[in-house]
């Protein structure tokens, strides 16, 4: 990385970069000399050099004329880099704490309503990621969301059992087969029309019920989807018991 880009990353302004580069070459110079070599207006040079002094990049030798001296980069510049690193580490910790606080607040509310597929898919992905034992899903076997599918595959690899109930349609058999290949257990129902409701149950603790209308003549794409997320063991257990009874009674794929 060029020195100019390093200085920009550290928050230097353009005139400060020009002045510092000249001092890297001259090591010591008067404000007039620096302004001339760096092509900086005389009216600005003193304020620019003062900013460099505050940053610890230069020192001042009093006299007439006053001289500005480069603080060796291994002392001045490296110290600034370390200070910035510490500052960003602190900011990172604050962001992590904020994220935890928001997450705790989110999950302290036991019933939440979400609208719009972009938001809903993130909720589904998060709950798949957090699952440790079992995921139960009622799907339509429509067009696969690849990110959700990949997260399901990772869940299976870490030992999470996934069962799916969905309608059998010949033209969607390749979708069913794809779920089966990653290790999902599948049971089929015979519906003429596709259901408007889908369900997810995660570790008998979190329940999703989502409502969306299939688009005609296309694979299912989430359009105007609404998701109700309930975090409650008793509710999830009730849905799980019903799911298990239904799964056992259906034809397996």
Query: pLDDT, tens digit, for every residue of 66-107?
Result: 899 999 888 888 888 888 787 778 777 777 777 776 666 555
For residue 21 the two structure tokens come to: 């580069």
pLDDT value of residue 220? 43
Q: Which of 113-122, 160-169, 213-222 has the lowest mean pLDDT?
A: 213-222
Q: Where exactly does CATH 1.10.10.10 map onto the chain? A: 3-72
Tens of pLDDT, residue by residue over 197-224, are: 899 999 999 999 988 766 543 434 445 6
Is it the case that residue 173 has pLDDT exceeding 70? yes
What pTM value is reported for the model?
0.56
Q: Where exactly does CATH 3.30.870.10 map onto the chain? A: 110-252
Give the total residue count for the chain.
Answer: 253
Place 32 in a pLDDT band, splitting at 50, 70 and 90: very high
pLDDT value of residue 169? 87
User: Mean pLDDT over all residues of the chain?
Assistant: 87
Report which listed range, 2-11, 161-170, 210-219, 221-230, is most confident.
161-170
CATH of 110-252, one of 3.30.870.10, 3.30.360.10, 3.30.920.30, 3.40.50.300: 3.30.870.10
CATH of 3-72, one of 1.10.10.10, 3.30.560.10, 3.90.650.10, 1.20.1440.230: 1.10.10.10
| Mean pLDDT in residue range 108-112 | 73
């Amino acid at each position: 990385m060029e020195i100019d880009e390093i200085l920009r990353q550290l928050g230097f302004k353009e005139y400060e970069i020009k002045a510092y580069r000249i001092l890297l070459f001259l090591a010591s110079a008067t404000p007039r000399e620096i302004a001339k070599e760096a092509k900086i207006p005389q009216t600005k040079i003193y304020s620019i050099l003062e900013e460099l002094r505050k940053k610890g990049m230069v020192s001042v030798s009093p006299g007439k004329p006053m001289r500005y001296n480069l603080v060796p980069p291994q002392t001045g510049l490296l110290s600034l880099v370390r200070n910035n690193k510490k500052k960003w580490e602190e900011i990172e910790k604050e962001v992590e704490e904020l994220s935890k606080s928001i997450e705790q607040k989110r999950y302290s509310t036991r019933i939440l309503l979400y609208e719009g597929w972009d938001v809903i898919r993130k909720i589904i992905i998060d709950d798949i990621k957090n699952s440790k034992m079992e995921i139960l899903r009622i799907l339509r076997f429509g067009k696969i969301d690849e990110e959700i599918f990949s997260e399901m595959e990772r869940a299976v690899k870490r030992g999470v059992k996934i069962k799916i109930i969905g309608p059998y349609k010949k033209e969607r058999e390749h979708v069913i087969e794809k779920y089966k290949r990653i290790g999902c257990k599948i049971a089929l129902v015979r519906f003429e029309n596709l259901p408007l409701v889908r369900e997810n149950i995660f570790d008998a603790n979190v329940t999703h019920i989502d409502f969306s209308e299939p688009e005609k003549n296309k694979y299912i794409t989430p359009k105007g989807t609404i998701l109700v997320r309930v975090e409650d063991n008793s509710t999830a257990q009730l849905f799980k018991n019903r799911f298990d009874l239904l799964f056992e009674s259906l034809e397996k794929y």
